[in-house]
Structure 1
Amino acid sequence: MSKSLFERLGGRNGISIIVDDTVENHMNNTNVNARFLPLKEKPEQLAIIKNHTIDFFQAGSGGPNNYKGKDMVTAHTGMNINPTEYMHVMDDIFMALDKNDIDEETKKDVLAILWELKEMIIAK
């Protein structure tokens, strides 16, 4: 029997590291960092966002479902994220996956999830 995506990402600990690396990438990405840099001044809010992201990805990848955050449309309504920004965010995620030596098949599975979420996030 093959491992779940959750297991291939390293479980909650692995997902947490990937989320931390992704947020750091966002902070350094001039194409999207205006959305993320203000969170440096709000560490409690940043921690909440990171934890929701970890819980969301954990639940969506076959791990325990602890996600109690907003659905994707509600969470992104009013942000007016454009397709270019979404692609930059995806690039940042894949940089984090590469940094954490995630294999190609697992990255394809992550890509499929991100592609499914796209319409729930862009231009909301």
Structure 2
Amino acid sequence: MPILEHARKIISLVLLTAVLSGCAATGNDRQDTLYQDLGERSGIADIVEDLLYRIVDDPRIAFQFRGMDVGQFHQNLTDQLCELSGGPCSYTGRSMVEVHTGMNVTESQFNALAEHLILAMEKQGVSTGAQNRLLKKLIPLHPEITHL
């Protein structure tokens, strides 16, 4: 196994372990503050914008997003993260199953996107605790996204 691929697998496992272990230092799982901790709608929109730049630069996942309406994707993902974090938004896009059926998203691709989301949140100054609280809300979507 090439060293880079092995390193990616280790990073993915570490990220997943951190999320699943609930390593948020505050222990605070209150949803009403997550929206504020992410910077409210404008902060979430900035996170999504940074995430989009990371996606197009990553050959592991960029091809999965070719041909998409970038503006609509940005709007939908911003709405979805806003709603999940307890903000005053409503996600009105298609279901995760509907969006991802036929894409055959692999574990590696799912983890790559999670990695980029974490890096985008770090760039925006989102605390590790808030990052983990958001990731905890996204984990249940995993089976609706992968290998469909």
TM-score of the superposed pair, with normalisation by structure 1: 0.88
Unmatched 5+ stretches in structure 2 = 1-29
> What residue is the counterpart of 2:39 in the other structure?
10
Which one-letter code corresponds to 1:4 in the other structure? T
**Counterpart of 2:130 in 1: which secondary structure?**
helix
Using the TM superposition, give the Cα deviation of residue 49 of structure 1 relative to its aligned residue in structure 2, in angstroms. 1.0
2:50 to 1, 21, 24: 21
The number of residues matched between the two structures is: 119
Kindly, what percent of the aligned residue pairs are identical?
A: 25
Unmatched 5+ stretches in structure 1 = 40-44
Structure number with larger C-alpha Rg = 2
User: How big is each residue's C-alpha offset from its partner over 1:22-49, in whole Å with a ceiling of 9 and x where there is no partner?
Assistant: 011111112111123444xxxxx11011
Q: Distance in 2 between matches of 1:68 and 1:2?
A: 20
Query: Are 1:65 and 2:81 an aligned pair?
Result: no
- Taking only aligned residues, the RMSD between alpha carbons, in angstroms, comes to 1.7
1:104 to 99, 116, 128: 128
Does the aligned pair in 1 maintain the 2:31–2:85 contact within 8 Å? no
User: How big is each residue's C-alpha offset from its partner over 1:43-76, in whole Å with a ceiling of 9 and x where there is no partner?
Assistant: xx11011101111111111011321111111111
**Counterpart of 2:102 in 1: which secondary structure?**
coil
